Amino acid sequence: MTIGEAAERAGVSAKRIRHYEAAGLLGRAQRSYAGYRLYNEADVERVRFIGRARHVGFSIPQIRHLLSLWDDRSRPAQDVRRLALAHWHALDTQISELQTLADTLARLIEHCQGDERPDCPILAALAGGDPILSGTTPVGGPPRPAMDNPPERSRNLRPEPLE
Amino acid sequence: MTIGEAAERAGVSAKRIRHYEAAGLLGRAQRSYAGYRLYNEADVERVRFIGRARHVGFSIPQIRHLLSLWDDRSRPAQDVRRLALAHWHALDTQISELQTLADTLARLIEHCQGDERPDCPILAALAGGDPILSGTTPVGGPPRPAMDNPPERSRNLRPEPLE
DNA sequence: GCTTGACCTTCCCACCCGGGCAAGGTTCAC
DNA sequence: GTGAACCTTGCCCGGGTGGGAAGGTCAAGC
């Protein structure tokens, strides 16, 4: 099959398949006489693997690594687990940082009346040395303003630490 | 003062100041006879404002907007609040998505023994139609594996909804 | 056989926010 | 005058993908 069909069946764009090939995730595809890329079932499976791995946030280099482990039938599961765990920790760190940002911002918004008057604590904090931007959280945790529909986010889902 | 000194006083790199100027956040700087950019206290303040806004995650276009509100002495605080709130919601969405990813990954890791055997559920899930990747969380919430040092992350810090 | 439209090819640009480096000019102290 | 430390502009790089241009190919219909 040609790239369009392979792309559709793997659930990615043709462009991405070419990109993955260029990135060395796929190896050079078979070519028709006219130069069209040709794929088989196994190729589609591999692209699907890549797509799923991207979907859970693995980077291209990480997927390269995952694929090498996948290709090596004798690899220990430990190796895969380690890679996934590292990725999880990176995700967790990123989430923490974003959360800190969001909390800071929430504090700023909290202090802003948001009325017609021009005095805005948000701008003031960005402009001057308002300590609210220093990230010092009051004892007892940050304030918890009312919210219409809390998303019920799942936290504390944590794999075991690295061995 | 020249760009190096201004950069140091504003807490950003000289490169970033030039970048902000090119992005239209700063207006064309005064120039010395030789073409050096020259700054005054007000310029440094403005750069500091930009730096702080970047620090809490505002994008360049958003900061452009914030600056226009800052420059407009008669702007209602409401406008600023709205912008900050939109940014907060974007952050919150991003955090949610990352959290979903991390949870999925955690479930995968959970199911992987991580021993010397080559059967790895993580690879299996990425390769095949393992429903674990579909994101269906079991009733009662996702499993909560033991963790050495939970970061005590602050959640539920939520500003009021948009009016 | 020819046209048409859908597909394929490669290559370049764009995003975002800078870091890093190069080649060259300027300033200041010694 | 000379060297160090600054400044200038400009280009390439990252990550992962979309968009588009310019051109070749294939299959169906006339």
Q: What is the pLDDT of residues A126-141, one digit of tens each?
A: 777 665 665 444 343 3
Covered bases, chain C (protein CB within 7 Å): 7-10, 16-21, 25-27
Question: Distances in Å between the alpha carbon of A55 and those of A124, B68, B71, B153?
Answer: 40, 38, 42, 25
B138: confidence class by pLDDT, cuts 50, 70, 90: very low
Q: Span B3-71: which CATH code?
A: 1.10.1660.10
pLDDT at B45 > cutoff 50: yes
The CATH architecture to which A3-58 belongs is Orthogonal Bundle (1.10)
The pLDDT value recorded for residue B136 is 43
d(CA A163, CA B76): 55
pLDDT at B157 > cutoff 50: yes
Residues of chain A with pLDDT under 70: 113-118, 129-163
Identity of the amino acid at B55? H
Contact between chains at B127 and A45 (C-beta distance less than 8 A): yes
Q: What is the mean pLDDT of residues B54-80?
A: 83
Neighbours of A161 (CB within 10 A): 12
Q: Is A129 on the interface with B (CB under 8 A)?
A: no
Q: Is A124 on the interface with B (CB under 8 A)?
A: no
d(CA A109, CA B38): 35
What are A94-106's pLDDT values in tens digits?
888 888 888 888 8
Tell me which residues of chain B, numbers 61 to 90, contact chain A at a CB-CB cutoff of 8 Å.
Answer: 66, 69-70, 73-78, 80-82, 84-85, 87-88
| Contact predicate A53/B108, CB 8 Å | no
Residues with Cβ within 8 Å of B150's Cβ and at least 6 positions away in sequence, in order, are A156, A158
pLDDT at B162 > cutoff 90: no
B154: confidence class by pLDDT, cuts 50, 70, 90: very low
Identity of the amino acid at A94? Q
Residue boundaries of the structural domains of chain B: 3-71, 81-134
Query: B14-38 b/e with 16+ CB inside 10 Å = b?
Result: bebbeebbeeebbeebeeeeeeebe
